[in-house]
Chain A
Amino acid sequence: MRSVTSTVLTPVLFATYLGIGALAHDTHFSLGWALLSTLLVWAGPAQIILISTLGSGATAVQAAIAVTVSAIRLFPMVVSVLPMLRTPQTKRRQLILATHFVAVTLWVECFRLLPQVPRQRRIAFVHGLGVGLLSVCLTATALGYGLAANLPQLFGAAILLLTPLAFLLSTARNCRQLADILALVLGLALFPLASLLHTGADILIGGVSAGTIAYGVHWWRARA
């Protein structure tokens, strides 16, 4: 639990969820709805996309498609975190709750903190971290919802800038291998190119190609 307070990502998450609560209020969703979306969806970008698409009058199907495209990143995150949690005796259902908690913050913090945690206690550690972060975010959602009417535009812009800044720097901090650094740089650079294709899956196309090029360089250097 103490690790919840040790990360700078906690205030960032808090501010982001203040913003999500305020956004939900301004688009006329109920407080219970906003809290339920934080609890069940548990992914900042997906919630911002869900609220803004539904709020702009799109159908539930259109919103679901936009959400699922943004959520593809969760798949490789889960695949790369789970081997750190598992022992040979671990059953798959013991990992379901930990899997639900996987989002950018938890993913980044797992790579930073899990090596210091004994393997037998890692699932419990992730449950504690997940519940802690979730409580912070539920509080922030409710607070943002209540404060919505009084937030100036500059504050809104500052909150929305937090997500890219914190994502970029916390990922950069965790880059240990050449493949990770290259993936980050190429991913940033290839997105504008991929978006020229106007496929609607720009992030996926840019991400898979940048990641694969980065891995290719890693593989080539390991052989040389």
Chain B
Amino acid sequence: MSDFLGQFFGQFFGDPHALLVVVLAGFLPNEIWRMIGLWLGAGVDEGSELLVWVRAVATAILAGVIAQILVSPPGALASVPDWLRYTAVAAGFFAFIMTRRSTLAGVVCGELVMVAGKWWLG
């Protein structure tokens, strides 16, 4: 039984060294910022001015992540020309505004423009 279990886990998880890597290179460097937030954020009041600043910084960092994916795209997205990526996002944003802030309409419209453009380019 334990042999069977051992074999199952061996197949499912693969190399134990790789599991150590996911904890050391993935989990810890990521989780540390959440825990620092928990540790330092405990005393912050909900309506405080500090929180307005913190939220503005969080929003701007997120905007930076968005800009990075669009400007230097990863993997298969790099096969889409620059102008088409920007057009697709602009079209998505336009649809979002026109539908009084419907995220779904914006996402669907942006994706359609990108797929149609890519298909048209061949």
Q: Which A residues lie at the B interface, using CB under 8 A?
A: 8-9, 12, 23, 29-33, 36-37, 40-43, 45-48, 50, 52, 54, 60-61, 63-65, 67-68, 70-80, 82-84, 92, 95-96, 99-100, 102, 104, 107, 153-154, 156-173, 175, 177, 179-180, 182-188, 190-192, 194-195, 202-204, 206-212, 214-215, 218-219
Contact = CB atoms under 8 A, between A and B. Distances in A.
Nearest to A179: B56
B18 A43 contact: no
Interface residues on B, range: 35 or more
Contact of A192 (B12, B41, B67, B85): B67
A76 B55 contact: yes
A207 B37 contact: no
Interface in B64-105: 64-71, 73-77, 79-80, 85, 88-89, 92-93, 96, 101, 103-104
Contacts of A9: 103
Contacts, number: 314
A208 B60 contact: yes
B59 A171 contact: yes
A32 B14 contact: yes
Contacts of A190: 60, 64
Binding site secondary structure of chain B: helix
B55 A40 contact: no
B52 A179 contact: yes
A49 B54 CA distance: 25
Contact of B21 (A45, A54, A78, A107): A54
